[in-house]
Structure 1
Amino acid sequence: MHKKTIAVLFGGCSTEYEVSLQSAASVIDHLDKNKYELVLIGITREGAWRRYPGDTEDIRRDCWQQHPGCIPAFLPPSRETAGIVELVGTEYRLTPVDVVFPVLHGKNGEDGTLQGLLELSGIPFVGCGTLSSALCMDKEVASKLVKAAGVDVADSVTVQAGDDLYAAAKSAETLGYPVYVKPAKSGSSFGITKAYDRLALMDGIREALQHDDKAVVEQNIAGFEVGCAVLGHREPFIGEIDEIELQGEFFDYTEKYQLISSTIHLPARISEETANRVKETARRVYRTLGCRGLARVDMFITEEERVVFNEVNTMPGFTAASRYPNMMRASHLPYPDLMDRLIQLAEAKEAVR
């Protein structure tokens, strides 16, 4: 049987570098080696690309780049190439690739930058395209577009780097305390704080602007968070809904990846009618933002049972314990089959581009 060559990209210049390593190792472990020939491309924190010939354990432990078999490699934008170029000794060698699976999170991986390179190369790839990835990464822009499509969103105030901090805080206070302060373009809850007064609000804005050139101050939504795993293109499949039960202030980095005090309920503890509204909202958000392939759409359910948009992750966590594959597993799509489906969707997306 002819094997497809799949290039799996991991790492990257991002605060979510370590998350990418864990996700990619799991993806690699679950790709069927009888169907796929894998080409592993690691990107260091400094942005160096290397072809990696080792196992997933060294990826998880972040010592992959020390492997003696690592060689410089890159993905050229030329459609004549359609593959990975590697430097072997003093010569360049081309490895043709059928599909790229970019398992990178956050900036320089999930924000449209890498997707732009992949679109130029003409190689089919897993996940959303350039524009959709960029839109979903920017919380302010995504929220405005979703609101225009008729979806409820939290009221917010945007603060740009260089704005007068006191004036910005005074404007944001109209939202009422407490408020959440977030970098507009960041993931895994990096740089997010919850403020109960002006001093904490100003400190939160400073912290958010350490991670991005724009901060978003959002009103607090009284309720709980749910997530929808979405898979497909024009008529996507919506997986089982999960629910986050918090004990702390919010679902921060530690809770997302260690679940020290929080609990994830799968399926969510909501009525069938509410579940249908959540799924319909996720579908509308997905289409509005031009998502393709996959995404996880996160929403809040308020005390009045309103469904309020939170954010979209175009490349959600992919460890075996992550929310997206677990929601799909609960919908009778096990991890290896999910990998097959994503690769099929990548090829179908390229065919209709």
Structure 2
Amino acid sequence: MSEQPSPARKTRVALLFGGRSGEHAISAATAAGVLRAIDRDVYDVVPVGITRDGRWVVAADEPERWEITDGRLPEVTSDDGAEVVLSLTAGERTLRVLEPGQVPGVLGEVDVVFPLLHGPFGEDGTLQGLLELADVHYVGAGVLASAVGMDKHFMKLVLEGQGLPVGPYTVILPRDWETRREEATAAVARLGLPVFVKPARAGSSLGITRVDDLADLPAAVAEAQRHDPKVIVEQGIEGREVECAVLGGRSGLPARASLPGEIVVDHGAHAFYDFEAKYLDESAVQLRCPADLPDKVVAQVRSIAVRTFDAVGAEGLSRVDVFVTPDERVIVNEINTMPGFTPFSMYPRMWEATGLTYPQLIDELIQLALERPTGLR
């Protein structure tokens, strides 16, 4: 079990961002928000970017370098800095810089890692497993919860097993689409139209297509498979898109839920809340926080959000997305164990509306990570 940092120095936080998934740029934008807001009087911050091919490099401690500006998506490249490795020597957990032809230099001992990575190879348990092996404290869900939260298929199986309401769906595996396409299409047809065809393990609405005609299904599956060979098809649900932020409890106390927020999309501009609507066309989307819902529905959303968090064994933070139907039923859409975390993202905005500012939220997440033991728990 790793130890708390010495009170003689600041807590050193390694911010990891970028990564190998299609959400690389969103991760960088999230890092920009945290770099700008984290309390430098309390924390020594070490930004580490991960390139699209998986190299860890020293990254600029410059929020403006990593923001989405005028439609420009930021990207970590090998030119950003020297390569970095996490080294375990004599009980220390140290970041070391690798310069060609030179002895590795010490970048700093790490007390806690803040993995601001979205999607596969960062949010799916792979990085979490590495950090567990290294006996390093880190923010957010552990290996299993991260993996379950990333895979919409297994997420729904777990939530159903815990008695939580989820919408009808079917899964298309690569071999099914190649060898039993008629059966797979028939399973989709039984859901009724419209349906939403999604990569099973991707976020930020990448690769999602709304299908109103089965003739368009092959193209939708092909688009989803650009991001993940495994595809999930969900029945379209009539309802309001509502989100709720969950924060782990301190000292063994239960997890906490924020006031819910609502996403309202201009359907004249976008068929649904897709990648462009989320990040490139803010004028077409309203983020209402808190959501205008009856008190009893707010209570139901908050309760289901915490139950969802607990069902997958999440820790630290998660955002739970639900539909609220016209008859006021609450149906879980998904859980995100590392939600968008810029100051303008729904997760921090919902906590702001609930009484926790963005800098306070960052501090709370780091303290939760330091409090939690490493290893089996």
Smaller-chain TM-score range? over 0.9
Q: How many percent identity over aligned positions?
A: 39
- The answer to whether structure 1 residue 106 and structure 2 residue 130 are counterparts is no
Aligned to 2:350: 327
Q: Are residues 64 and 147 of structure 1, via their aligned partners in 2, closer, same or farther at CA, if it must alter by over 3 Å? A: closer
Q: Is the 8 A contact 2:15 2:31 kept in 1?
A: yes
2:264 to 245, 248, 252: 245
2:98 to 87, 93, 100: 87
Q: Are residues 289 and 66 of structure 1, via their aligned partners in 2, closer, same or farther at CA, if it must alter by over 3 Å? A: closer
Matching of residues 12-91 of structure 1 within 5 Å: 12-60=19-67, 62=74, 65=77, 70-76=81-87, 80-88=91-99, 90-91=102-103
Distance apart, 1:341 and its partner CA = 0.4
SS in 1 for 2:159: helix
Distance apart, 1:228 and its partner CA = 0.6
Aligned to 1:286: 309
Aligned to 2:366: 343
SS in 2 for 1:101: strand
Distance 1:92 1:24 in 2: 26
1:306 to 311, 326, 329: 329
Q: Are residues 247 and 53 of structure 1, via their aligned partners in 2, closer, same or farther at CA, if it must alter by over 3 Å? A: closer
Per-residue Cα deviation, 1:75-119 (whole angstroms, up to 9, x for no partner): 247783412122245112342111100111111111111111111
- Count of residue pairs the alignment pairs up: 352
Aligned to 1:188: 204
Q: Is the 8 A contact 2:245 2:320 kept in 1?
A: yes
Q: Is the 8 A contact 1:77 1:118 kept in 2?
A: no
Distance 1:132 1:296 in 2: 13
SS in 2 for 1:279: helix
SS in 2 for 1:152: coil
User: TM-score scaled to structure 2, two decimals?
Assistant: 0.89
SS in 1 for 2:354: coil
Per-residue Cα deviation, 1:178-216 (whole angstroms, up to 9, x for no partner): 111111100000111111111112221222122112111
Aligned to 2:254: 235
Q: Is the 8 A contact 2:149 2:312 kept in 1?
A: yes
SS in 2 for 1:145: helix
The one-letter code matched in structure 2 to 1:259 is E
Distance 1:168 1:54 in 2: 48
SS in 2 for 1:91: coil
- The answer to whether structure 1 residue 212 and structure 2 residue 234 are counterparts is no
Alignment gaps of 5+ in structure 2: 1-7, 68-72
The 10-residue stretch of structure 1 (12-21 or 200-209) with the greater mean CA deviation from structure 2: 200-209
Aligned to 2:338: 315
Distance 2:114 2:315 in 1: 14
1:174 to 174, 190, 196: 190
User: TM-score scaled to structure 1, two decimals?
Assistant: 0.95
Distance 2:155 2:360 in 1: 30
Distance apart, 1:66 and its partner CA = 7.0
Aligned to 1:7: 14
Aligned to 1:134: 147
Q: Is the 8 A contact 1:169 1:202 kept in 2?
A: no
Q: Is the 8 A contact 2:51 2:76 kept in 1?
A: no
Per-residue Cα deviation, 1:301-339 (whole angstroms, up to 9, x for no partner): 111111001011111111111111111111111111111
Distance apart, 1:270 and its partner CA = 0.6
Alignment gaps of 5+ in structure 1: none
Q: Is the 8 A contact 2:24 2:75 kept in 1?
A: no
Distance apart, 1:63 and its partner CA = 6.5
Distance 1:64 1:311 in 2: 28
Q: Are residues 194 and 62 of structure 1, via their aligned partners in 2, closer, same or farther at CA, if it must alter by over 3 Å? A: closer
RMSD across aligned C-alpha pairs, in angstroms? 1.8
Per-residue Cα deviation, 1:38-94 (whole angstroms, up to 9, x for no partner): 1111111121111124422223373764767x2110224778341212224511234
Q: Is the 8 A contact 1:77 1:120 kept in 2?
A: no
Distance 2:213 2:238 in 1: 18
Per-residue Cα deviation, 1:128-167 (whole angstroms, up to 9, x for no partner): 0111000000001111111111111111111001213332
